[in-house]
Amino acid sequence: MGPHPRLPRARHDDSHDHALPREADSLCDRVAIIDGGAIQALGSPAELEAAHGHDALELDAGDRVDEVQRIVAETVSGACELAGGRVRISTDDLVATARALLVECERRGVPLRGLETRQPSLDAVVLSVTGRVMPGG
CB neighbourhood size of 123 (10 A): 17
44 and 27 Cβ atoms separated by less than 8 Å: no
Distance CA 86, CA 121 (A): 19
pLDDT at 94 over 70: yes
Give the pLDDT of residue 96. Answer: 93
Under 8 Å CB-to-CB from 69, ≥6 apart: which residues? 61, 80, 82, 87
Give the pLDDT of residue 118. Answer: 84
Under 8 Å CB-to-CB from 68, ≥6 apart: which residues? 59, 61, 87, 105, 110, 112
Amino acid at the residue 89? I
71 and 108 Cβ atoms separated by less than 8 Å: yes
pLDDT at 6 over 70: no
89 and 76 Cβ atoms separated by less than 8 Å: yes
> What average pLDDT does the segment 125-132 reach?
81
pTM of the predicted protein model: 0.60
**Which span out of 5-9, 23-27, 121-125 was modeled with the highest average pLDDT?**
121-125
pLDDT digits (tens, 9 = 90+) for 46-92: 898 888 877 889 999 999 999 999 999 999 987 788 888 899 898 88
Domains of the chain: 9-50+121-130 (no CATH), 55-118 (3.30.70.100)
% the chain with pLDDT above 90: 34
116 compared with 128, residue with greater pLDDT: 116
Give the pLDDT of residue 83. Answer: 81
Distance CA 127, CA 117 (A): 19
pLDDT at 110 over 80: yes
